[in-house]
Structure formats: structure tokens, C-alpha cells
Amino acid sequence: MKNISKILSVLLLVSGNLVHAQSLDDILKDHYAAIGQDKMIKINTQKMTGKMLQGGVEIPFIQMAKRPDKVRVEGTFQELTFIQTYNGKEGWSLNPFTGATDAQPMSEDQLKSMKYQSDMDGMLWNWKEKGYTTTYEGKDDMEGTSCYKIKVVTKDGDAFTYYIDPDSYVIVRSNSKIKIMGNETDADTYYSNYKQIDGIAIPGKMENKMNGQLAGTIMVDTVYFNTELADSLFDKPVKK
């Protein structure tokens, strides 16, 4: 009887693991289809314009990305332009609001964040090849909707949790726990107003919250794919 009990326990454990793994694969498959991942992986560049709303202030921004792993962000306020660039290896920040006249190299923690941001395909795509650990954490309530909860942990121990709507299969919330200077930061982003551009789903509104408090909102106006973007745009910025 003991042997039969042990065998049944092993079989149930194996069966449970298979169902768990299959559930993750199924959810991600539907998610990829919903956002047009098959089209996204064929895109070489992306240029996005919009505005950041923070503390009653509206800041127009431009974000540019290019494969592999290049990103540039510009924000303009009172005729001054803040610039961040990352070329896949090095990153710089030019912040005239602090009186800086030259771009400064990013810290290791800033570079890590820019590397995450430069992934045009998102962390859920090809997560195994990227060296991430990804698990299906069951369902969790998100403003009255029971969403699929997918957790990604990087080699550095940073954790990203994505909440996927069970009907549309788009991401409606993400939570990030990133280690910066030895301390863990906890932030949430809420995604809404999705729009279809060339068969790719892009969130038109992103609300960023820290400790439950609204830190800022990003509104997307336009998105352009495969526009000509020179590699020099992602190198050390020069003050205009």
C-alpha cells in the first residue's frame, strides 16, 4: 500500500507540473497572438511620440528604439530637453535641468534599467533564451477582473509580474521589483487604451504608481515602425 501511495504521489506531482507548464505556454501563446508578436519581431525600429503628465505639468516626449538593444528618450519642458541614450553597451544622460552642459555616463543600475527598456519584444518573448525564470502564478484580481499572473525573474534577481486580461490577453498591469543601489524599488504600471498599429497592439495610456500613489502618466500620440534611425542617435548625446 505504501508503494502504491508513493507512486500515486509522484504521478500527481508530475501531472501537476505538466498542467502548470502547459498553462503558462497556453497563456503566452494567446498573449503573443493578441499583441501581434509575430509582426513585432519583424520590426527593426520604433519611434513613439506623446506626452508625460506629472504634477500638473505636461512634457512632450519622443522615444526611439532600434535593434539590437538601442533606445533613446527625449523630454522637453520650458525649451530645455532631457535626453537618455543607450547603445546596447553604454548609456548616457543629459539633464539641463540640473545645469549640466555635458552628457554623463549612466550608473550600473541605470544601465540595467535601460537594457530592460531596450527590449523591443518585451520580457515575455523568448524568456528562456534571455536567461529569465518565468512562472504562472495563478489568477489575481485587478480592479474586478481575475487576471492571469505571470512572473519573470532575471539573473540579477529583479522581478517583473505581468497581469494579463483573460478576455483580450493584453497586459493591463505590471509590477516591477528592481534592486537599485542595494535597495529594492517597487513600482506598478497600468496599461489601457490599446490601439492597433500595423497589426500590433500598443497601449495608449500608461499610469505609473509608486507605493500606490500616482507618479505620472504617459499618453501615446503616434507610433511609427521601421523609420530610418541612425545608430548615432543612441550614442553619447550632445547639447543642442
Q: Which pLDDT score is estimated for 4? A: 42
Cell digits for 60?
512632450
Q: Which pLDDT score is estimated for 240? A: 62
Q: Which pLDDT score is estimated for 19? A: 39
Instruction: For cell 494567446, name the residue.
Output: 30
Q: What is the pLDDT of residues 23-40, one digit of tens each?
A: 899 999 999 999 999 999
User: Residue 60 and residue 79: Cα distance in Å, rounded?
Assistant: 11
Q: What is the pLDDT of residues 190-234, one digit of tens each?
A: 999 999 999 999 999 999 998 788 889 999 999 999 999 999 999
Low-confidence ranges of the chain (pLDDT < 50): 1-22
Query: Can the peptide bond before residue 68 be classed as cis, meaning omega within 30 degrees of 0?
Result: yes
Domains in the chain, please, with CATH? 2-234 (2.50.20.10)
Cell digits for 149?
499572473
Instruction: For cell 499572473, name the residue.
Output: 149
| Integer Rg of the chain from CA | 20
Cell digits for 221?
500620440
Q: Where are the alpha helices (DSSP H) in 36-162?
A: 37-40, 108-117
User: Residue 151 and residue 41: Cα distance in Å, rounded?
Assistant: 22
Q: Which pLDDT score is estimated for 139? A: 93
| Residue 187: other Cβ atoms inside 10 A | 14
Q: Which pLDDT score is estimated for 101? A: 83
Cell digits for 96?
539641463
Task: Tell me the pTM.
Answer: 0.86
Q: What is the DSSP code (8-state) at residue 162?
A: E
